[in-house]
Amino acid sequence: MSTIKDVAKEAGVSVATVSRFLNKSGYVSENSAKNVLDAIKKLDYQPNSVARALFHKTSKMIGLIVPDITNPFFPELARAVEDVSMIYGYKVLLGNSDGDPEKEQNYLDLFDQKYVDGIIMTSRSSKTDLTLNTDTPIVVLDRANISGLPTVTSNNYEGARQAVELLIEKGAMHIAHIRGPREITSANDRYQGFIDEMLKNNMDYVIAESAFNLKSAEEAAHHFFDKHKQIDAIFCSNDTIAVGFLKVALKKGIQIPADLQIIGFDGVAFGEMVYPELTTVAQPIYDMGAMASRLLIKLIEKEEPEQLLYELKNSIIERGTTRK
The string of DSSP codes covering 101-164 is: HHHHHHHHHHHHHTT-SEEEE--SS-TTTS-----S-EEEES---STTS-EEEE-HHHHHHHHH
Single pTM value for the model? 0.80
Pair 148, 291 in one domain: yes
55 within domain boundaries = no
Pair 238, 298 in one domain: no
- Pairing assessment for the beta strands 279-282 and 315-317 based on DSSP bridges: antiparallel
Pair 180, 240 in one domain: yes
Pair 169, 233 in one domain: yes
52 within domain boundaries = no
192 within domain boundaries = yes
Q: Which of 24-38, 234-248, 293-307 has the highest mean pLDDT?
A: 234-248
Pair 207, 177 in one domain: yes
Query: Lowest-confidence range among 117-131, 161-175, 260-274?
Result: 117-131
53 within domain boundaries = no
Q: Where are the beta strands (DSSP E) in the chain?
A: 61-66, 91-96, 118-121, 138-141, 151-154, 175-179, 205-209, 233-236, 261-266, 279-282, 309-312, 315-317
Please state, in angstroms and rounded to a whole number, the distance separating the CA atoms of residues 112 and 133. 9
Closest CA to 55 of 93, 32, 25: 25
Domain tally, the chain? 3
Q: Which residue has the higher pLDDT, 198 or 103?
A: 198
CATH number where 10 lies? 1.10.260.40
Share of the chain above pLDDT 70, in %: 90
165 within domain boundaries = yes
Pair 180, 254 in one domain: yes
How does DSSP classify residue 179?
Answer: E
In tens, the pLDDT along 233-247 reads 999 999 999 999 999
Pair 161, 70 in one domain: no
CA-CA-CA-CA torsion sign (101, 102, 103, 106): positive
322 within domain boundaries = no
Pair 307, 255 in one domain: no
CATH number where 93 lies? 3.40.50.2300
In tens, the pLDDT along 2-20 reads 788 888 898 999 888 887 7
Q: Is residue 198 scored above 80 in pLDDT?
A: yes
In tens, the pLDDT along 41-92 reads 888 887 655 454 544 456 789 999 999 999 999 999 999 999 999 988 899 9
Pair 144, 291 in one domain: yes
320 within domain boundaries = no
Q: What is the pLDDT of residue 316?
A: 98
Please state, in angstroms and rounded to a whole number, the distance separating the CA atoms of residues 69 and 78. 9
Pair 42, 185 in one domain: no
Identify the domain containing residue 21 by its residue range: 4-47
182 within domain boundaries = yes
Pair 92, 32 in one domain: no
Pair 256, 290 in one domain: no
For the chain, what is the total number of helices (H) and then of strands (E)?
11, 12
